[in-house]
Amino acid sequence: MNKSIICTGNPEFGVASEIAKRWPQTEIVGRTTWGYDLCEDSYKNKLAEKASNYDVFINCSALWHYHQTLLLDIVFKFALSNRKRLHIVSLGSTTDRTTKGSDWHYQQEKKALKSTSNALGLKGVWTGGPRVSYVSFGTLTNNQHKHPDRAVMTLAEAVDCIEYVINTPEHLCVSELIVDPLQHKDWPIG
């Protein structure tokens, strides 16, 4: 791939590790690499400035207290105000489609990320600005231990989906891509 990519996350865990494997030139930003605590506004602002010098920003870290959504907003607005061509890809979860009574905010945080991605993405489509894509996955192999009876996607399959979105021609925007591994094992496939 001939696009420059910057991505949040840990290069030794989860989707960010597979991104680092697929595209070794990718800058992976987080506590373990650059010392950036992306739950702090000063680091979000620093990252927004750096991200605007790349072709693609992959918003991969599952930051708590809605910080992944806040990071999306800051990166988008910085790129918009500086008229930078940037493709922002935020990684969500298919848990954004469900609701259960809980004080665990992960589902609500992913719903906020999806909604904000949609709003900013539509702004980019209709009035100009960075392209924004929201990609959500069902359970991935790195979380199979939490759901041992579920069929899961490999991290490589998740990155295949990200690659598809990134390689979309620049005059098009994949606003949202939802990918789930099929759970009904005895249903005929192929």
CATH assignment of the domain containing 121? 3.40.50.720
Residue 74 lies in a domain: yes
Residue 188 lies in a domain: no
> In this structure, what token pair is assigned to residue 52?
């605007």
Domain limits for position 32: 5-179
- Tell me what pLDDT residue 186 has: 80
Residue 185 lies in a domain: no
Q: Give the predicted TM-score (pTM) of the model.
A: 0.93
Residue 187 lies in a domain: no
Residue 190 lies in a domain: no
Domain count for the chain: 1
pLDDT digits (tens, 9 = 90+) for 68-123: 999 999 999 999 999 999 999 999 988 777 777 777 777 788 889 999 999 999 99
Residue 124 lies in a domain: yes
- Tens digit of each residue's pLDDT, the chain (190 residues): 789 999 999 999 999 999 999 999 999 999 999 999 999 999 999 999 999 999 999 999 878 889 999 999 999 999 999 999 999 999 998 877 777 777 777 778 888 999 999 999 999 999 999 999 999 998 888 877 888 888 889 999 999 999 999 999 999 999 999 999 988 878 887 6
**φ and ψ at residue 25, rounded to 5 degrees:** -80, -5
Residue 57 lies in a domain: yes
| Beta-strand runs (E) in 49-187 | 56-59, 87-93, 131-137, 176-179
Instruction: Tell me how far apart the alpha carbons of residues 89 and 5 are, in angstroms, rounded to a whole number.
Output: 11
Comparing C-alpha atoms, which of 76, 164, 86, 89 is closest to residue 134?
Answer: 89
Residue 189 lies in a domain: no
Instruction: Tell me how far apart the alpha carbons of residues 97 and 94 are, in angstroms, rounded to a whole number.
Output: 6
